[in-house]
Amino acid sequence: MPGTAELRALRRRIRTVQNTQKITSAMELIAASRIARARQAVERARPFAEGITQVIRDLSTAADLSEHPLLVSRDPVKTVGVVVITSDRGLAGAYNSNALRRAERLIRALRSEGREIALYQIGRKGDSYFRYRDESFAATWFGVTDKPTYDDAVDIGERIVADYSGERIDEVHLVYTDFRSSLAQVPTAVRLLPIEPRQISGGQAYPPQFVFEPNPDEILERLLPRYVEHRIFAGLLESAASEHASRQRAMKAASDNAEEIVDDLTREANRARQAAITTEINEIVGGSEALAEG
């Protein structure tokens, strides 16, 4: 009978789209709940950041900073380390392409100044992006960005500080995605090393009876790598929150789109069903008239 085959095909398509929609809306819900947790992690890490920054500021009035290798700008700068944070998984809207575009812009600017680039890639998406473009990596880390732990940040920080101290790189920049709100995530590039003096200036001098164990220079020696690690940690947390927010938005759009497709297909299916019924009635009426005439 005409129309039935078409009807069956339409119903099958509706079911397929509905199944996809179930997946996208589940992913949307998961992402939404992870945003809240990622935001909390950012908030909870703040007291430490404030504490360590304050101590470094105060300490820098007591210790001699001009000599510290993590604070001194090198001349000339030959190789620049670029740390890029992307996600491991896709389906996160424009999150990765925005972060990568920011990284690409930074790399182009540095190359135009004649710098060599050493890439430190965190997250698979950036890895495949740069690999496709024949870039090589100084180091890569996977499985970190979804739910960053402090141990991860320490691993990454130690490697970067070691390469910097070993003069394999003369400057380090970090590209991460800053979570401003659930609607706005901004890919951002900051300089990690050498530490910019204005970030650690403005401390209050310690009163003279203060005791230091060990001496202020040595304490600072221990503190500064921690400070770098914590900035990487903060970058990872901000990026994770941004990733989840982007994914939620992308999955919401996908679910809404699926809804629309189901509506259209349903309308089409109804039309096909109506056509099938009309044809059937026509045939019956035609048949009975033929019989009556006979």
Partner 1 sequence: MAQMQVLVVSATRELYRGDASAVFARSPEGEIGILPGHQPALLALEISSVRVQETDGDIITWAVHAGFLEYRDDQLTVLADVAERPEEIDVSRAEAALDRARQHLEDPNYEGNARAELRRAEIRLRLAGA
Crossing angle between the packed helical segments 216-293 and 4-62, to the nearest 10 degrees: 170
Question: Counting contacts by CB under 8 A, is residue 163 touching partner 1?
Answer: no
Question: Counting contacts by CB under 8 A, is residue 147 touching partner 1?
Answer: no
> Of 40-48, 189-197, 242-250, 270-278, which segment contacts partner 1 by CB under 8 A?
40-48
Options 1, 47, 75, 198; binder of partner 1; rule CB under 8 A: 47
Closest approach of partner 1 to the CB of residue 228, in Å: 12
Residues 60-99: x where in contact with partner 1 by CB under 8 A, - otherwise, as a string: ----------------------------------------
Question: Counting contacts by CB under 8 A, is residue 175 touching partner 1?
Answer: no
Question: What is the enclosing helix (H) or strand (E) of 153?
Answer: helix 150-165
Question: What is the C-alpha to C-alpha distance for residues 174 and 190, in angstroms, rounded to an integer?
Answer: 5
Closest approach of partner 1 to the CB of residue 50, in Å: 9
How far, CA to CA in Å, does 21 sit from each of 24, 34, 88, 102?
Answer: 5, 20, 23, 32
Other C-beta atoms within 10 Å of 239: how many? Answer: 31
Closest approach of partner 1 to the CB of residue 223, in Å: 7
Respond yes or no on whether the N-terminal peptide bond of residue 225 is cis (omega within 30° of 0).
no
Closest approach of partner 1 to the CB of residue 131, in Å: 15
Residues 204-223 that bind partner 1 (CB under 8 A): 206-207, 209-214, 216, 218-219, 222-223
Question: What is the enclosing helix (H) or strand (E) of 263?
Answer: helix 216-293
Closest approach of partner 1 to the CB of residue 58, in Å: 8
Angle, CA 175 vertex, CA 169 and CA 178 arms, to 5°: 150
By CB under 8 A, how many residues form the interface with partner 1?
38
Closest approach of partner 1 to the CB of residue 147, in Å: 12
How far, CA to CA in Å, does 134 sit from each of 119, 129, 131, 162, 206?
Answer: 12, 9, 5, 25, 52
Which three-class secondary structure state does DSSP give residue 207? coil
Q: How far is CA 291 from the centre of its chain?
A: 74
Question: Counting contacts by CB under 8 A, is residue 20 touching partner 1?
Answer: no
Residues of this chain that bind partner 1 (CB under 8 A): 41, 44-45, 47-48, 51-52, 55, 59, 139-141, 149-151, 153-155, 158-159, 162, 206-207, 209-214, 216, 218-219, 222-223, 226, 229-230, 233
